[in-house]
Chains A and B, each alone.
Chain A
Amino acid sequence: MDSLFPVTLTLNGVIATHEVSQRTTLADFLRQTVGLTATHVGCEHGVCGACTVFVDGRIARACLMFAIQAEGRDIRTLEGFAGDRRMEVLQRHFHERNALQCGFCTSGMLATAHQLLEGSPDPSREEVRESLSGNFCRCTGYHAIVDATLDAAAELNAATVAPEAEPAC
Protein backbone atom coordinates (compact mmCIF):
# COMPACT_ATOMS: atom_id res chain seq x y z
CA MET A 1 0.00 0.00 0.00
CA ASP A 2 1.42 3.34 -1.02
CA SER A 3 1.83 6.08 1.59
CA LEU A 4 -0.46 9.06 1.21
CA PHE A 5 0.61 12.69 1.09
CA PRO A 6 -1.51 15.83 1.26
CA VAL A 7 -1.89 17.95 -1.86
CA THR A 8 -3.52 21.38 -1.77
CA LEU A 9 -4.75 22.84 -5.03
CA THR A 10 -7.44 25.05 -6.47
CA LEU A 11 -9.97 22.72 -8.05
CA ASN A 12 -12.71 24.31 -10.13
CA GLY A 13 -12.28 27.54 -8.23
CA VAL A 14 -12.24 26.05 -4.74
CA ILE A 15 -9.10 25.48 -2.66
CA ALA A 16 -9.06 21.86 -1.56
CA THR A 17 -6.68 19.47 0.22
CA HIS A 18 -6.70 15.74 -0.54
CA GLU A 19 -4.51 12.78 0.32
CA VAL A 20 -2.80 11.11 -2.63
CA SER A 21 -0.06 8.62 -3.28
CA GLN A 22 2.86 10.09 -5.15
CA ARG A 23 2.36 7.93 -8.21
CA THR A 24 -1.33 8.80 -8.65
CA THR A 25 -1.78 10.74 -11.87
CA LEU A 26 -3.83 13.92 -11.87
CA ALA A 27 -6.40 12.08 -14.02
CA ASP A 28 -6.83 9.21 -11.56
CA PHE A 29 -6.88 11.69 -8.69
CA LEU A 30 -9.70 13.68 -10.28
CA ARG A 31 -11.79 10.60 -11.04
CA GLN A 32 -11.09 8.31 -8.10
CA THR A 33 -10.10 10.56 -5.21
CA VAL A 34 -12.36 13.53 -5.91
CA GLY A 35 -15.08 11.82 -7.97
CA LEU A 36 -14.98 14.24 -10.91
CA THR A 37 -15.61 11.83 -13.77
CA ALA A 38 -15.92 14.23 -16.72
CA THR A 39 -12.17 13.73 -17.16
CA HIS A 40 -11.78 10.44 -19.01
CA VAL A 41 -8.78 8.14 -18.93
CA GLY A 42 -8.03 6.60 -22.29
CA CYS A 43 -4.47 5.79 -23.27
CA GLU A 44 -2.70 6.82 -20.05
CA HIS A 45 0.38 7.97 -21.92
CA GLY A 46 -0.52 11.34 -23.35
CA VAL A 47 -1.62 10.33 -26.83
CA CYS A 48 -5.43 10.30 -26.91
CA GLY A 49 -6.38 13.57 -25.22
CA ALA A 50 -9.45 12.20 -23.39
CA CYS A 51 -8.06 13.40 -20.04
CA THR A 52 -7.46 17.00 -21.15
CA VAL A 53 -8.02 19.47 -18.30
CA PHE A 54 -6.91 23.03 -17.61
CA VAL A 55 -3.77 23.55 -15.53
CA ASP A 56 -3.13 27.18 -14.61
CA GLY A 57 -5.54 28.22 -17.34
CA ARG A 58 -4.15 26.11 -20.19
CA ILE A 59 -5.11 22.70 -21.50
CA ALA A 60 -2.86 19.86 -20.38
CA ARG A 61 -2.97 16.07 -20.22
CA ALA A 62 -4.08 14.98 -16.75
CA CYS A 63 -2.42 11.58 -17.34
CA LEU A 64 0.96 13.27 -17.88
CA MET A 65 1.03 14.92 -14.45
CA PHE A 66 1.14 13.33 -11.05
CA ALA A 67 -1.45 14.78 -8.68
CA ILE A 68 1.33 15.76 -6.32
CA GLN A 69 2.72 18.05 -9.03
CA ALA A 70 -0.58 19.95 -8.90
CA GLU A 71 0.29 21.26 -5.43
CA GLY A 72 -0.43 25.00 -5.52
CA ARG A 73 -1.79 24.87 -9.08
CA ASP A 74 -5.14 25.89 -10.48
CA ILE A 75 -6.93 22.88 -11.99
CA ARG A 76 -10.18 23.20 -13.90
CA THR A 77 -12.12 20.23 -15.24
CA LEU A 78 -15.17 20.20 -17.46
CA GLU A 79 -17.34 20.24 -14.32
CA GLY A 80 -15.84 23.64 -13.55
CA PHE A 81 -17.25 25.07 -16.77
CA ALA A 82 -20.90 24.81 -15.73
CA GLY A 83 -22.39 28.20 -16.54
CA ASP A 84 -19.50 29.16 -18.84
CA ARG A 85 -21.07 30.63 -21.96
CA ARG A 86 -18.39 29.49 -24.44
CA MET A 87 -18.53 25.94 -23.10
CA GLU A 88 -22.30 25.83 -23.14
CA VAL A 89 -22.41 26.97 -26.75
CA LEU A 90 -19.80 24.36 -27.69
CA GLN A 91 -21.74 21.62 -25.89
CA ARG A 92 -24.99 22.57 -27.59
CA HIS A 93 -23.40 22.51 -31.05
CA PHE A 94 -21.71 19.17 -30.35
CA HIS A 95 -25.20 17.89 -29.54
CA GLU A 96 -26.85 19.45 -32.58
CA ARG A 97 -24.15 18.29 -34.99
CA ASN A 98 -24.02 14.73 -33.61
CA ALA A 99 -20.37 15.39 -32.81
CA LEU A 100 -20.24 12.37 -30.52
CA GLN A 101 -21.38 8.79 -30.45
CA CYS A 102 -19.89 7.03 -27.43
CA GLY A 103 -18.83 10.35 -25.87
CA PHE A 104 -15.56 9.08 -24.48
CA CYS A 105 -13.42 11.70 -26.23
CA THR A 106 -15.94 14.52 -25.84
CA SER A 107 -14.65 16.10 -22.63
CA GLY A 108 -11.19 16.42 -24.09
CA MET A 109 -12.52 17.70 -27.40
CA LEU A 110 -14.57 20.36 -25.59
CA ALA A 111 -11.64 21.46 -23.43
CA THR A 112 -9.37 21.77 -26.47
CA ALA A 113 -12.01 23.56 -28.53
CA HIS A 114 -12.66 25.95 -25.63
CA GLN A 115 -9.01 26.98 -25.47
CA LEU A 116 -8.88 27.34 -29.25
CA LEU A 117 -11.87 29.68 -29.36
CA GLU A 118 -10.53 31.69 -26.45
CA GLY A 119 -7.30 32.53 -28.30
CA SER A 120 -8.67 32.38 -31.84
CA PRO A 121 -12.36 33.35 -31.85
CA ASP A 122 -12.79 32.98 -35.61
CA PRO A 123 -10.64 30.01 -36.62
CA SER A 124 -10.42 28.53 -40.09
CA ARG A 125 -11.44 24.90 -40.60
CA GLU A 126 -7.74 24.06 -40.94
CA GLU A 127 -6.95 25.74 -37.60
CA VAL A 128 -9.69 23.75 -35.89
CA ARG A 129 -8.38 20.51 -37.37
CA GLU A 130 -4.83 21.33 -36.29
CA SER A 131 -6.00 22.29 -32.80
CA LEU A 132 -8.00 19.09 -32.34
CA SER A 133 -5.30 16.87 -33.86
CA GLY A 134 -4.12 15.91 -30.39
CA ASN A 135 -7.52 14.49 -29.44
CA PHE A 136 -8.47 11.07 -30.76
CA CYS A 137 -12.02 10.05 -31.58
CA ARG A 138 -12.52 6.40 -32.50
CA CYS A 139 -16.17 6.36 -33.51
CA THR A 140 -17.72 9.63 -34.66
CA GLY A 141 -15.05 10.75 -37.05
CA TYR A 142 -13.81 14.26 -36.96
CA HIS A 143 -15.92 16.19 -39.46
CA ALA A 144 -18.90 16.65 -37.16
CA ILE A 145 -16.61 17.73 -34.32
CA VAL A 146 -14.93 20.32 -36.54
CA ASP A 147 -18.33 21.46 -37.83
CA ALA A 148 -19.67 21.84 -34.28
CA THR A 149 -16.62 23.85 -33.21
CA LEU A 150 -16.99 26.18 -36.21
CA ASP A 151 -20.72 26.57 -35.56
CA ALA A 152 -20.01 27.43 -31.94
CA ALA A 153 -17.44 30.02 -33.03
CA ALA A 154 -19.97 31.57 -35.41
CA GLU A 155 -22.63 31.78 -32.71
CA LEU A 156 -20.22 33.22 -30.15
CA ASN A 157 -19.05 35.82 -32.65
CA ALA A 158 -22.62 36.74 -33.54
CA ALA A 159 -23.36 37.07 -29.83
CA THR A 160 -20.38 39.40 -29.47
CA VAL A 161 -21.77 41.68 -32.17
CA ALA A 162 -25.37 41.52 -30.88
CA PRO A 163 -25.33 41.01 -27.10
CA GLU A 164 -29.14 40.82 -26.93
CA ALA A 165 -29.09 37.55 -28.90
CA GLU A 166 -31.08 34.64 -27.51
CA PRO A 167 -29.40 33.27 -24.35
CA ALA A 168 -28.14 29.70 -24.19
CA CYS A 169 -30.73 27.24 -22.91
Chain B
Amino acid sequence: MKAAPFDYVRVSSLDELGELAAAYGDDAQVIAGGQSLVPAMAMRMARPKLLLDLCDLPGLADIRLTPDGLEIGAMVRYFELAGSPLVATHAPLVSTAVPLIAHEAIRSRGTLGGNLAHADPASEMPAVMLALGAVITVAGSTGARRIPAAEFFIGTYETALRAGEIITAITLPVALAGRRVAIDEVVRRSGDYAAVGAAFAIDLEGETVTGARLAFFAVCDRAVLAHKAAAALCGQRLGEIDPAPVLAALAQEIAPVADLHNRAETKRHLMKVLAGRLLQRLLSGEKSTHG
Protein backbone atom coordinates (compact mmCIF):
# COMPACT_ATOMS: atom_id res chain seq x y z
CA MET B 1 0.00 0.00 0.00
CA LYS B 2 2.77 2.45 -0.87
CA ALA B 3 2.67 4.63 -3.97
CA ALA B 4 5.12 3.92 -6.77
CA PRO B 5 7.95 6.47 -7.08
CA PHE B 6 7.15 9.78 -8.74
CA ASP B 7 8.49 13.28 -9.18
CA TYR B 8 6.69 16.22 -7.62
CA VAL B 9 6.42 19.83 -8.74
CA ARG B 10 4.44 22.69 -7.26
CA VAL B 11 3.62 24.54 -10.45
CA SER B 12 3.61 28.31 -10.31
CA SER B 13 1.92 29.10 -13.64
CA LEU B 14 -0.29 27.55 -16.29
CA ASP B 15 2.62 27.81 -18.73
CA GLU B 16 4.81 25.70 -16.47
CA LEU B 17 1.96 23.23 -16.05
CA GLY B 18 1.49 23.07 -19.82
CA GLU B 19 5.17 22.45 -20.52
CA LEU B 20 5.46 19.68 -17.95
CA ALA B 21 2.16 18.10 -19.00
CA ALA B 22 3.34 18.08 -22.62
CA ALA B 23 6.74 16.60 -21.70
CA TYR B 24 5.29 13.81 -19.54
CA GLY B 25 2.06 13.13 -21.46
CA ASP B 26 -0.15 10.58 -19.72
CA ASP B 27 2.50 10.09 -17.02
CA ALA B 28 1.76 13.54 -15.58
CA GLN B 29 -1.07 13.90 -13.09
CA VAL B 30 -2.47 17.06 -11.54
CA ILE B 31 -3.08 16.91 -7.77
CA ALA B 32 -5.45 19.28 -5.97
CA GLY B 33 -6.74 18.01 -2.60
CA GLY B 34 -5.60 14.48 -3.38
CA GLN B 35 -8.41 12.75 -1.49
CA SER B 36 -9.23 10.46 -4.42
CA LEU B 37 -5.85 10.45 -6.16
CA VAL B 38 -3.65 9.53 -3.19
CA PRO B 39 -5.63 6.37 -2.30
CA ALA B 40 -5.60 5.40 -5.98
CA MET B 41 -1.82 5.82 -5.94
CA ALA B 42 -1.52 3.85 -2.68
CA MET B 43 -3.37 0.97 -4.34
CA ARG B 44 -1.31 1.53 -7.51
CA MET B 45 -4.43 1.95 -9.59
CA ALA B 46 -2.75 5.25 -10.51
CA ARG B 47 1.01 5.36 -11.15
CA PRO B 48 1.87 8.87 -12.33
CA LYS B 49 5.54 9.59 -12.90
CA LEU B 50 5.02 13.29 -12.19
CA LEU B 51 2.63 14.99 -9.78
CA LEU B 52 1.76 18.59 -10.61
CA ASP B 53 0.54 20.21 -7.40
CA LEU B 54 -1.74 23.22 -7.87
CA CYS B 55 -1.52 24.45 -4.27
CA ASP B 56 0.74 27.40 -5.12
CA LEU B 57 -1.18 28.56 -8.22
CA PRO B 58 -2.64 31.98 -7.37
CA GLY B 59 -6.30 32.93 -7.72
CA LEU B 60 -7.90 29.49 -7.40
CA ALA B 61 -9.15 29.66 -3.82
CA ASP B 62 -11.70 32.50 -3.83
CA ILE B 63 -15.48 32.54 -3.63
CA ARG B 64 -16.98 35.72 -5.07
CA LEU B 65 -20.12 37.13 -6.60
CA THR B 66 -19.69 38.21 -10.24
CA PRO B 67 -22.19 39.51 -12.84
CA ASP B 68 -22.31 35.94 -14.21
CA GLY B 69 -23.11 34.36 -10.89
CA LEU B 70 -21.34 32.86 -7.93
CA GLU B 71 -17.76 32.05 -8.89
CA ILE B 72 -16.01 29.36 -6.87
CA GLY B 73 -12.28 28.85 -7.35
CA ALA B 74 -11.27 25.30 -8.23
CA MET B 75 -9.08 24.92 -5.14
CA VAL B 76 -11.82 25.91 -2.69
CA ARG B 77 -12.06 23.07 -0.21
CA TYR B 78 -15.30 21.43 0.92
CA PHE B 79 -15.16 22.84 4.45
CA GLU B 80 -14.83 26.31 2.95
CA LEU B 81 -17.89 25.73 0.77
CA ALA B 82 -19.81 24.53 3.82
CA GLY B 83 -18.88 27.61 5.83
CA SER B 84 -19.37 30.23 3.13
CA PRO B 85 -22.31 32.64 3.63
CA LEU B 86 -22.11 33.53 -0.10
CA VAL B 87 -22.61 29.88 -1.04
CA ALA B 88 -25.41 29.45 1.51
CA THR B 89 -27.24 32.48 0.07
CA HIS B 90 -26.68 32.04 -3.65
CA ALA B 91 -26.17 28.30 -4.06
CA PRO B 92 -27.85 26.61 -1.08
CA LEU B 93 -27.85 23.25 -2.86
CA VAL B 94 -24.05 23.25 -2.64
CA SER B 95 -24.10 23.95 1.11
CA THR B 96 -26.65 21.17 1.59
CA ALA B 97 -24.60 18.71 -0.44
CA VAL B 98 -21.26 19.10 1.34
CA PRO B 99 -22.16 17.12 4.50
CA LEU B 100 -22.99 14.12 2.29
CA ILE B 101 -19.44 14.01 0.96
CA ALA B 102 -17.21 11.52 2.78
CA HIS B 103 -16.21 12.69 6.28
CA GLU B 104 -15.02 15.84 8.01
CA ALA B 105 -11.31 14.97 7.68
CA ILE B 106 -11.72 14.41 3.93
CA ARG B 107 -13.69 17.64 3.59
CA SER B 108 -10.76 19.54 5.11
CA ARG B 109 -8.64 18.71 2.08
CA GLY B 110 -10.90 17.81 -0.86
CA THR B 111 -11.54 20.55 -3.42
CA LEU B 112 -14.49 21.27 -5.68
CA GLY B 113 -12.29 21.51 -8.78
CA GLY B 114 -10.47 18.29 -7.98
CA ASN B 115 -13.75 16.50 -7.47
CA LEU B 116 -15.18 17.65 -10.81
CA ALA B 117 -11.97 16.86 -12.71
CA HIS B 118 -11.95 13.38 -11.15
CA ALA B 119 -15.53 12.82 -12.41
CA ASP B 120 -16.43 9.91 -10.19
CA PRO B 121 -19.89 8.76 -11.31
CA ALA B 122 -20.94 8.18 -7.68
CA SER B 123 -19.87 11.63 -6.51
CA GLU B 124 -22.37 14.28 -5.40
CA MET B 125 -20.88 17.46 -6.85
CA PRO B 126 -21.12 16.66 -10.57
CA ALA B 127 -24.86 16.13 -10.11
CA VAL B 128 -25.14 19.36 -8.12
CA MET B 129 -23.39 21.18 -10.97
CA LEU B 130 -25.88 19.73 -13.47
CA ALA B 131 -28.86 20.64 -11.31
CA LEU B 132 -27.65 24.23 -10.95
CA GLY B 133 -26.59 24.68 -14.57
CA ALA B 134 -22.97 25.41 -13.63
CA VAL B 135 -20.39 26.60 -16.11
CA ILE B 136 -16.92 25.17 -15.62
CA THR B 137 -13.98 27.35 -16.63
CA VAL B 138 -10.91 25.40 -17.70
CA ALA B 139 -7.58 26.90 -18.68
CA GLY B 140 -4.21 25.90 -20.03
CA SER B 141 -1.22 27.67 -21.51
CA THR B 142 -3.22 28.35 -24.70
CA GLY B 143 -6.13 30.07 -22.98
CA ALA B 144 -9.40 29.48 -21.19
CA ARG B 145 -12.67 27.78 -22.17
CA ARG B 146 -16.07 27.88 -20.48
CA ILE B 147 -17.85 24.54 -20.57
CA PRO B 148 -21.43 23.94 -19.40
CA ALA B 149 -21.53 21.17 -16.78
CA ALA B 150 -23.83 19.16 -19.05
CA GLU B 151 -21.01 18.95 -21.61
CA PHE B 152 -18.16 18.53 -19.14
CA PHE B 153 -18.79 15.02 -17.82
CA ILE B 154 -18.18 12.43 -20.52
CA GLY B 155 -17.83 9.12 -18.71
CA THR B 156 -16.33 7.35 -15.71
CA TYR B 157 -13.34 9.49 -14.64
CA GLU B 158 -13.58 11.16 -18.06
CA THR B 159 -14.19 14.86 -18.72
CA ALA B 160 -13.84 17.46 -21.46
CA LEU B 161 -10.48 18.54 -19.98
CA ARG B 162 -7.59 18.33 -22.44
CA ALA B 163 -3.97 17.54 -21.58
CA GLY B 164 -2.37 20.53 -19.86
CA GLU B 165 -5.72 22.04 -18.87
CA ILE B 166 -7.08 22.41 -15.36
CA ILE B 167 -10.36 23.64 -13.96
CA THR B 168 -9.82 27.17 -12.66
CA ALA B 169 -13.32 28.14 -11.52
CA ILE B 170 -16.93 27.07 -11.38
CA THR B 171 -19.68 29.62 -12.00
CA LEU B 172 -23.15 28.98 -10.63
CA PRO B 173 -26.14 31.08 -11.67
CA VAL B 174 -27.43 32.70 -8.48
CA ALA B 175 -30.50 31.09 -6.94
CA LEU B 176 -33.75 32.58 -8.23
CA ALA B 177 -36.65 33.54 -6.03
CA GLY B 178 -39.08 30.63 -6.16
CA ARG B 179 -36.36 28.03 -6.59
CA ARG B 180 -36.46 24.95 -4.42
CA VAL B 181 -33.49 22.63 -4.15
CA ALA B 182 -32.72 19.33 -2.48
CA ILE B 183 -30.17 16.55 -2.58
CA ASP B 184 -30.34 13.11 -1.06
CA GLU B 185 -28.75 9.72 -1.55
CA VAL B 186 -29.11 6.13 -0.48
CA VAL B 187 -25.99 4.94 1.36
CA ARG B 188 -25.24 1.91 3.49
CA ARG B 189 -23.22 3.99 5.97
CA SER B 190 -22.84 7.73 6.44
CA GLY B 191 -20.05 9.04 4.22
CA ASP B 192 -19.97 6.02 1.89
CA TYR B 193 -20.32 6.30 -1.85
CA ALA B 194 -23.97 6.51 -2.78
CA ALA B 195 -25.85 3.49 -4.10
CA VAL B 196 -28.06 6.05 -5.85
CA GLY B 197 -28.27 9.81 -5.43
CA ALA B 198 -30.28 12.73 -6.77
CA ALA B 199 -29.98 16.53 -6.76
CA PHE B 200 -33.02 18.55 -7.80
CA ALA B 201 -33.52 22.24 -8.58
CA ILE B 202 -37.12 23.19 -9.26
CA ASP B 203 -38.36 26.67 -10.19
CA LEU B 204 -41.84 27.88 -9.35
CA GLU B 205 -43.81 30.85 -10.54
CA GLY B 206 -46.57 31.27 -8.05
CA GLU B 207 -47.87 27.74 -7.59
CA THR B 208 -46.74 26.39 -10.95
CA VAL B 209 -43.57 24.48 -11.75
CA THR B 210 -41.91 26.39 -14.57
CA GLY B 211 -38.53 24.71 -14.67
CA ALA B 212 -36.86 21.61 -13.27
CA ARG B 213 -33.39 20.17 -13.40
CA LEU B 214 -33.36 16.66 -11.99
CA ALA B 215 -29.83 15.25 -11.74
CA PHE B 216 -28.92 11.72 -10.70
CA PHE B 217 -25.61 10.21 -9.64
CA ALA B 218 -24.32 6.70 -9.03
CA VAL B 219 -26.73 5.42 -11.66
CA CYS B 220 -24.46 5.11 -14.72
CA ASP B 221 -21.03 6.18 -15.98
CA ARG B 222 -21.56 9.84 -15.03
CA ALA B 223 -23.99 12.22 -13.38
CA VAL B 224 -26.97 12.73 -15.68
CA LEU B 225 -29.98 15.02 -16.05
CA ALA B 226 -33.41 13.46 -16.49
CA HIS B 227 -34.81 15.79 -19.15
CA LYS B 228 -38.05 13.92 -19.86
CA ALA B 229 -38.88 13.52 -16.20
CA ALA B 230 -38.27 17.25 -15.75
CA ALA B 231 -40.58 18.01 -18.68
CA ALA B 232 -43.28 15.85 -17.08
CA LEU B 233 -42.99 17.94 -13.92
CA CYS B 234 -43.22 21.34 -15.63
CA GLY B 235 -46.67 22.86 -15.59
CA GLN B 236 -47.78 20.85 -12.56
CA ARG B 237 -49.15 22.79 -9.61
CA LEU B 238 -47.86 22.85 -6.07
CA GLY B 239 -49.87 20.71 -3.67
CA GLU B 240 -51.41 18.78 -6.60
CA ILE B 241 -48.22 17.19 -7.86
CA ASP B 242 -48.71 13.87 -9.63
CA PRO B 243 -45.38 12.06 -9.43
CA ALA B 244 -46.50 9.13 -11.62
CA PRO B 245 -45.73 10.62 -15.06
CA VAL B 246 -42.43 12.03 -13.74
CA LEU B 247 -41.32 8.65 -12.40
CA ALA B 248 -42.50 6.85 -15.52
CA ALA B 249 -40.48 9.19 -17.72
CA LEU B 250 -37.49 8.73 -15.44
CA ALA B 251 -37.65 4.93 -15.68
CA GLN B 252 -37.71 5.24 -19.47
CA GLU B 253 -34.80 7.62 -19.88
CA ILE B 254 -32.30 6.44 -17.27
CA ALA B 255 -31.36 2.77 -17.17
CA PRO B 256 -29.10 2.35 -14.11
CA VAL B 257 -26.02 0.19 -14.44
CA ALA B 258 -24.88 -2.25 -11.74
CA ASP B 259 -21.84 -1.43 -9.62
CA LEU B 260 -19.79 -3.57 -7.22
CA HIS B 261 -22.46 -3.51 -4.53
CA ASN B 262 -25.81 -3.05 -6.24
CA ARG B 263 -27.60 -4.77 -9.09
CA ALA B 264 -29.10 -2.64 -11.85
CA GLU B 265 -32.53 -3.75 -10.68
CA THR B 266 -31.82 -2.49 -7.15
CA LYS B 267 -30.61 0.84 -8.46
CA ARG B 268 -33.66 1.21 -10.70
CA HIS B 269 -35.89 0.71 -7.68
CA LEU B 270 -33.87 3.05 -5.44
CA MET B 271 -33.74 5.75 -8.10
CA LYS B 272 -37.53 5.78 -8.26
CA VAL B 273 -37.92 5.78 -4.47
CA LEU B 274 -35.43 8.60 -4.08
CA ALA B 275 -36.96 10.73 -6.83
CA GLY B 276 -40.41 10.30 -5.29
CA ARG B 277 -39.07 11.24 -1.89
CA LEU B 278 -37.40 14.42 -3.16
CA LEU B 279 -40.47 15.49 -5.11
CA GLN B 280 -42.58 15.00 -2.01
CA ARG B 281 -40.13 16.99 0.07
CA LEU B 282 -39.87 19.86 -2.39
CA LEU B 283 -43.40 20.13 -3.70
CA SER B 284 -45.77 18.91 -1.04
CA GLY B 285 -46.89 22.51 -0.61
CA GLU B 286 -44.69 23.68 2.23
CA LYS B 287 -43.20 27.10 1.71
CA SER B 288 -39.62 26.11 2.50
CA THR B 289 -37.18 27.10 -0.20
CA HIS B 290 -34.21 25.15 1.07
CA GLY B 291 -34.03 21.40 0.66
Cα–Cα, bound, A61→B38 (Å): 11
- By size class, the interface of chain B is 20 to 34
Contact with B along A23-38 (1 / 0, CB 8 A): 1010010000000000
Q: Are A134 and B106 in contact (CB under 8 A)?
A: yes
Contact B5 A44 (CB under 8 A): no
A103 to B112, CA, bound (A): 34
Q: Give the residue name and chain of the B residue nearest to A71 (CB).
A: B10
Kindly list chain B residues whose C-beta atoms are within 8 Å of the C-beta of A44: 1-2, 42
Q: Which residues on the B side are within 8 Å of A115 (C-beta)? A: 104
The answer to whether the Cβ of A45 comes within 8 Å of any Cβ in the partner chain is yes
Give the distance in Å from the alpha carbon of A49 to the alpha carbon of B102 in the complex: 12
Give CA–CA (A82, B38) in the complex, Å.
Answer: 30
| A112 lies within 8 A of B105 (CB) | yes
Q: Which residues of A contact B43 (CB under 8 A)?
A: 45
Q: Which of B38, B109, B190 contacts A66 (CB 8 A)?
A: B38
Bin the interface of chain A by size. Answer: 20 to 34
A45 touches B42 (CB 8 A): yes
B244 within 8 A of A: no
A146 contacts partner chain B, Cβ-Cβ < 8 Å: no
Contact A69 B34 (CB under 8 A): yes
CA distance A136 to B91 in the complex (A): 33
A2-B5, A45-B1, A64-B34 known; A134 vs B103 contact (CB < 8 Å): yes
Report chain B residues within 8 Å CB of A156: none
B191 touches A61 (CB 8 A): no
User: Is B55 located at the chain interface by the 8 A CB criterion?
Assistant: yes
Tell me the residues in window 65-100 of chain B with beta carbons closer than 8 Å to chain A beta carbons.
Answer: 79
Contact of B104 among A5, A64, A134 (CB under 8 A): A134
Q: How far is the CA of A69 from the CA of B55 in the complex (A)?
A: 9
Q: Which one, B35, B108, B189, B191, contacts A59 given CB within 8 A?
A: B108
Interface: A22 (CB within 8 A): yes
Q: Mark B189-201, 1 if CB is under 8 A from A, else 0.
A: 1110000000000
B-side contacts of A64, CB under 8 Å: 34-35, 38-39, 106, 109
Q: Please, how many angstroms separate the alpha-carbon atoms of A2 and B6 in the complex?
A: 9
> Known interface pairs A23-B3, A45-B43, A133-B191. Does A66 touch B105 (Cβ–Cβ under 8 Å)?
no
Q: Indicate whether A87 reaches chain B with its CB closer than 8 angstroms.
A: no
Chain A 142-159: CB-based contact to B (< 8 A → 1; otherwise 0): 000000000000000000
List, in ascending order, chain A residues with CB within 8 A of B104's CB.
59, 112, 115-116, 131, 134
A22 and B5 alpha carbons, distance in the complex (Å):
7
Q: Is the CB of B7 within 8 A of A22?
A: yes
Determine if A65 is an interface residue (Cβ-Cβ < 8 Å): yes
User: Which residues of chain A have a CB within 8 Å of any CB of chain B?
Assistant: 2, 5, 21-23, 25, 28, 44-46, 49, 52, 55, 58-61, 63-66, 68-69, 71, 112, 115-116, 130-131, 133-135
Sample (8) of A-B pairs whose CB atoms are under 8 Å apart: A5-B8, A21-B5, A44-B1, A45-B42, A63-B38, A64-B38, A112-B105, A134-B104
Q: Nearest 8 pairs between A and B by C-beta?
A: A134-B103, A45-B39, A44-B1, A58-B108, A133-B190, A59-B105, A23-B3, A64-B38
